[in-house]
Amino acid sequence: MEVWPKRIMDIWFTEKQSPNMKLSLRIKNILLNKTTEFQDILVVETEEYGKIMVLDGAIQITEKDEFCYHEMMAHIPICAHSHPRRVLIIGGGDGGVLRECLKHPFIEEAILVDIDSEVVQASRDYFPHVSSGMNDPRATILNMDALTFIREHKHEFDIVIVDSTDPVDFAAGLFQSPFYTDVFEALRSEGIMIAQTESPFAEASLLKQAYKEMEKVFPIVSLCWGAMPTYPTGFWTYTVGSKTVTPEEPRNPAPLDCKYYTSRIHSNSFVLPPFLEALIELK
Amino acid sequence: MEVWPKRIMDIWFTEKQSPNMKLSLRIKNILLNKTTEFQDILVVETEEYGKIMVLDGAIQITEKDEFCYHEMMAHIPICAHSHPRRVLIIGGGDGGVLRECLKHPFIEEAILVDIDSEVVQASRDYFPHVSSGMNDPRATILNMDALTFIREHKHEFDIVIVDSTDPVDFAAGLFQSPFYTDVFEALRSEGIMIAQTESPFAEASLLKQAYKEMEKVFPIVSLCWGAMPTYPTGFWTYTVGSKTVTPEEPRNPAPLDCKYYTSRIHSNSFVLPPFLEALIELK
């Protein structure tokens, strides 16, 4: 006879990853649930992935797998560049990308522009291991519209990292060529940008759009991919736009304490399965 | 005023990927729902992934992403071997691995041993593009216990592919060294085996166990990984056991019509992120 498992806490957070697909995680506790000027922020403690931060219903970071995404976003462009000094991070208010950028001793300044100061505060409050880079003297955190910020800064950055939420509402412009033009102009002569460009299984058309729009602006555009368990389908892409250098081979060493990124993972991530190559019509 | 979306069919299949994590897919139709002598078989049509086959509640194949898994399971060992002729597939009753094996013209015979004839029939009925290899004259389908079969066949196969369900019930023995010893003995002198060994995020201990157990038997053991969206976390591992040859570099060309596997993906898949290398204590 089965015994009813009275002691299991049966409370679930569910993300609608698409209209037809949901991921549900059993939770232990709700740590933060508020509506800011820009979005809903939820921080919950899950059994499977530790603490997670959710913006407008979409998982942004989890304690267990955030390294996969943040290491790729930071080290791919920084290691591809021959002498990066100044980095601009658009979005990424949790600070995970910032933390990774500042692992490189040669990075002199990293400016993070996230529209929502409450995301930054939530990360400081609940994710100290993610937000740790915010206290680095080389870091500056600005809470304003990145589209405005970037138009006012020309030829100032070696690296621009677009760590956006999904391209809806205030983030919609971040997947379009006028924005990529602004990024291009904000970059110095050997500048490199990277943007997260969704999953080819769940959001094939968005990925293709971002890639094509970036091709209108940057002479060199290249797609790479990696695993990211808590993002839809776990298969994530990153699109790199570059002014002069090819990004496929790293020029700088990987930080020693990475858990996902290595120099070999760097080059390998640009080798695409044929279905993905076909999607962006590389051949 | 919001209009109630009357026309959306709100019926969901949910997989409990772990006690603390669930994946739900909206379905259009239930095509098959039966209990065989060995397990429950469910075939449903989903909006996100097309038709899917579920055994004992766990997704085995979907029309949209089955190629990721089947291509890796077949082409990694076959392309690593210098002159493979005879292949044994344990489990894999859907026929996806079989289909991939038979893409190589030099494969003379492929024997598939799946305990459940009803899985084979369900694949023939609902997944003609997956089961297509079953009609190849080089294919033999046997419905019996693979543990019995393999003990009666010594030095007969160049390749053994263990396409098992999760290691519970009748499949539990498939992650343990006595079984790997039987596989070793069923292999010819340059023989190579591969087994699916779960996700390092969802089933780290199972992966580690399979790896360690295989190391007790095979002189060369090597882990590779790939994307597989509908398996838990989307990050999947495959463990290769080899008698004499290193499996990291392909010796045979990839079939032309692959969507995931290429010769470069082959070698790259053996390059592990540091967290995974640490898990199996390679260093």
pLDDT value at B282 more than 80: no
A187-196 vs A220-227, strand pairing mode: unpaired
- A64 shares contact with chain B (CB less than 8 Å): yes
Residue A5: per-residue pLDDT: 59
Asked if the C-beta of B21 comes within 8 angstroms of chain A's C-beta atoms, the answer is yes
pLDDT in tens, A190-219: 999 999 999 999 999 999 999 999 999 999
- The Cα of A209 is separated from the nearest Cα of chain B by a number of Å equal to 20
* Contacts across the A-B interface (CB distance below 8 Å): 112
Least reliable range by pLDDT among A32-41, A92-101, A174-183, B151-160: A174-183
- Tell me the pLDDT tens digit for each residue of B181-219: 999 999 999 999 999 999 999 999 999 999 999 999 999
Average pLDDT over every residue of B38-63: 97
Reported confidence tier of residue B170, pLDDT bands at 50, 70, 90:
low
| DSSP one-letter code for A173 | G
Distance from CA of A95 to the nearest CA of B (A): 21
User: Distance (Å, rounded) from C-alpha A63 to C-alpha A44?
Assistant: 11
Q: Is-contact B233 B201, C-beta < 8 A?
A: yes
Nearest CA in chain B to A269: B268
pLDDT band, residue B2 (cuts 50/70/90): low
**Residue B162 forms beta bridges with which residues?**
B90, B195
Which residue among A22, A199, A233 sits closest to B24, beta carbon to beta carbon?
A22
Asked if the C-beta of B265 comes within 8 angstroms of chain A's C-beta atoms, the answer is: yes
Mean confidence (pLDDT) of chain B: 95
Residue B5 touches partner A, C-beta closer than 8 Å? no
Whether the Cβ atoms of residue B150 and residue B186 lie closer than 8 Å to each other: yes
- pLDDT classification of B7: cutoffs 50, 70, 90: low
CB contact set of B216 (below 8 Å; sequence gap of 6+)? B177, B180
Q: Residues with Cβ < 8 Å from B200, sequence gap 6 or more?
A: B207, B225, B235, B237, B275, B276, B279
User: How many H helices and E strands in chain B?
Assistant: 9, 12
Taking CA atoms, what residue in A is nearest to B260? A273
**B229 close to A (CB below 8 A):** yes
Nearest-neighbour CA in chain B from A129: distance (Å): 17
> Which of B163, B166, B169, B182 does the annotation list as catalytic?
B163
Rounded CA separation A67/B232 (Å): 18
Q: Of B51, B261, B48, B231, which is closest to residue A201 (Cα–Cα)?
A: B48
Q: What is the pLDDT of residues B72-96, one digit of tens each?
A: 999 999 999 999 999 999 999 999 9
Q: Which residues are within 8 A (CB) of B118 and not within 5 positions of it... i.e. 6 or more apart? A: B34, B36, B37, B41
Which of A63, A235, A260, A283 to probe by mutation at the B interface, max B CB count within 10 Å? A235
CA neighbours within 13 Å on the CB side: how many for B146? 30
Contact B22 A23 (CB under 8 A): yes
Lowest-confidence pick of A5-14, A101-110, B109-118, B233-242: A5-14
CB contact under 8 A, A273 and B264: no
As a whole number, mean pLDDT of residues A47-51 equals: 97
What was the pLDDT predicted at B283? 45
CA angle B105, B109, B111 (to 5 degrees): 135
Are residues A229 and B234, on separate chains, in Cβ contact within 8 Å? yes
Collapsing DSSP to helix, strand or coil, B112 comes out as strand
A88 vs A158, A183, B4, CA distance in Å? Answer: 8, 10, 43
Helices (H), B132-257: 146-151, 177-186, 204-215
pLDDT tens string B24-37 = 999 999 999 999 99
- Domains of chain A and any CATH numbers: 12-62 (2.30.140.10), 66-279 (3.40.50.150)
Nearest CA in chain A to B258: A274
Average the pLDDT over A34-59 and give the result.
97
CA distance B264 to chain A (A): 7
Q: Which residues of A96-109 are buried (b: 16+ CB within 10 A; e: fewer)?
A: bbbbbbbbbeebeb
A273 — contact with chain B (CB < 8 Å)? yes
**Chain B residues inside the 8 Å CB shell of A265:** 271, 273
Q: How confident is the model at residue A122 (pLDDT cuts 50, 70, 90)?
A: very high
Q: Is residue B130 scored above 50 in pLDDT?
A: yes
CA dihedral (A86, A91, A97, A103) positive or negative: positive
Whether the Cβ atoms of residue B58 and residue B165 lie closer than 8 Å to each other: yes
pLDDT at res. A47: 96
- Please say if the pLDDT value at position A236 is more than 50: yes
- pLDDT, residue B5, reads 59
Q: Which residues of A touch B8 (CB under 8 A)?
A: 19
Helix (H/G/I), strand (E/B), else coil: B162: strand
> Using CA atoms, how far apart are residues A39 and A18, in angstroms rounded to an integer?
19
Phi–psi pair at B276, nearest 5 degrees: -80, -40
> Which runs of E-coded beta strand occur in chain B?
12-18, 21-35, 40-46, 50-55, 58-62, 86-91, 109-113, 139-142, 157-163, 187-196, 220-227, 235-242
Note whether B249 contacts A: Cβ–Cβ < 8 A. no
What chain A residue is nearest to B48 in terms of C-alpha separation? A20
Instruction: Based on the residue annotation, tell me whether B116 is a catalytic residue of this protein.
Output: no
Chain B, nearest residue to A19 by Cα:
B26
pLDDT at A283: 45
